[in-house]
Amino acid sequence: SQVAKTIMKFPHLMGSYSLEENLKPRVRWLKSLGLDDLQMAKTIMKFPNVMGYSLEENLKPRVQWLKELGMDNSQVIKTIMKFPHLMGSYSFEDNLKPMVQWLKELDMDDSQVATT
Per-residue confidence (pLDDT) for residue 69, from 0 to 100: 81
> 29, 59 in Cβ contact below 8 A?
yes
Per-residue confidence (pLDDT) for residue 89, from 0 to 100: 72
Question: For the chain, which residues score pLDDT lower than 50?
Answer: none
Per-residue confidence (pLDDT) for residue 95, from 0 to 100: 77
Nearest to residue 50, comparing CAs of 75, 78, 20, 17? 17
Per-residue confidence (pLDDT) for residue 115, from 0 to 100: 61
Per-residue confidence (pLDDT) for residue 35, from 0 to 100: 94
Per-residue confidence (pLDDT) for residue 28, from 0 to 100: 93
> 99, 70 in Cβ contact below 8 A?
no
Distance CA 105, CA 13 (A): 40
Per-residue confidence (pLDDT) for residue 111, from 0 to 100: 64
Per-residue confidence (pLDDT) for residue 110, from 0 to 100: 65
Give the model confidence (pLDDT) of 47-69 as tens digits.
Answer: 888 888 899 999 999 999 888 88
Question: Does the global pTM surpass 0.85?
Answer: no
